[in-house]
Amino acid sequence: MKATATAHPNIALVKYWGKRDIALNLPAAGSLSVTLAGLSTTTEVCFEPHLAEDVVSLDGHQLSDERARRRVVEFLDLVRRAADVETYARVVTYNDFPTAAGLASSASGFAALAVAASSAAGLDWSPQRLSALARRGSGSAARSLFGGFVEMRPGTKPDGSDAHAKPVAPPDHWDLRCLIALTTRGEKKVGSTEGMGRTQQTSPLFQPWIETVDDDLRQTRLAIDKRDFSALGRIAERSCLRMHATAIGADPGVLYWNATTVSLIHRIRRARGDGLPCFFTIDAGPHVKVFCPAEVTDDVVDLLSDIDGVRDILTARPGPAPTLGAA
């Protein structure tokens, strides 16, 4: 009743921002992402008969935030119910990148937890079914159940069984790099679930945003298929900016950017105008992710290193699906 899984975060090119069902965590629209090698979460789950409650640790410390612990416990309850298991679990998780700062740690976290917990509980589920399970923990986690370029389907069934991700192209389809420019240390102030909820409830820009997503998905699938970098960049930047525009339009507005985030946006656009192929995307945090073809990686790193306020740069590339086994 013990298993270890490693999963990778993903960065969305077409963003997920809004839910059609809160209890089942069903997205209001689809999304499309790249799973990243170079960053990972490793999680061990062990169901132990003598435990009086679930014990959860992250990066060597017991989870002190009760809300975060509840989220893991409720997820384990789903697995226990499906597998007819009654014992509590010890969950030990390590991220090799900063947690909860807009680097998609909940995506790799719940993907690794879905794979490890289901295996430890004796469930032999398909990646699709595990993707729908991971979605219950975090919407973006559903995408981390697959490697490479991945699309999340919102589904139409009320029970959410068809709201899972599916692969679009394998990791080696396109030799891109994703450079992550860290613009601050520490955790973000408004978590994505909260920011998304406030946007949906109060932003007059929310519904128009949702109406843009299907077209962006269709065009992104085509751009990936043709390896059309400039088309991919145009769609990804507009999806990112529209997602942030709908959040900024909430009451009170949800603004994840800092001054360095904005400097990076301008600098990347200028460099592209000067002929360097690169585009940015930004999630529910102040960091900026820059995609480029592998051959110009050093030029983009030089560009980012020169910007005041950039504290570190992580390099990632399209990466694999989760793996089960010893860390």
Q: Encoding tokens for residue 156? A: 């139409």
Shorter beta-carbon distance to ligand 2P0: residue 34 or 271: 34
Minimum Å gap between C-beta 86 and ligand 2P0 is 27
Minimum Å gap between C-beta 36 and ligand 2P0 is 12
Minimum Å gap between C-beta 325 and ligand 2P0 is 26
Q: Encoding tokens for residue 90? A: 């010890």
Q: What angle do CA 214, 216, 219 make, to 5 degrees?
A: 110
Task: Determine phi and psi for 314, rounding to 5 degrees.
Answer: -105, 145
User: Residue 157, Cβ neighbours under 10 Å: how many?
Assistant: 10
Minimum Å gap between C-beta 12 and ligand 2P0 is 3
d(Cα 218, Cα 239) in Å, to the nearest integer?
Answer: 13
Shorter beta-carbon distance to ligand 2P0: residue 244 or 267: 244
Shorter beta-carbon distance to ligand 2P0: residue 196 or 288: 196
Minimum Å gap between C-beta 17 and ligand 2P0 is 6
Minimum Å gap between C-beta 274 and ligand 2P0 is 28
Q: What angle do CA 320, 133, 111 make, to 5 degrees?
A: 30
Find the residue with minimal CB distance to ligand 2P0: 139
Shorter beta-carbon distance to ligand 2P0: residue 118 or 140: 140
> What is the per-residue DSSP string for 186-243?
S--SS-HHHHHHHHHHH-TTHHHHHHHHHHHHHHHHHHHHHT-HHHHHHHHHHHHHHH
Shorter beta-carbon distance to ligand 2P0: residue 152 or 223: 152
Using an 8 Å Cβ cutoff, are 314 and 182 in contact?
yes
Applying CB under 6 A, the residues found at the interface with ligand 2P0 are 12, 15-17, 25, 31, 106, 138-140, 192-193, 196, 243, 283-284
Shorter beta-carbon distance to ligand 2P0: residue 207 or 305: 207
Find the length of the chain. Answer: 327
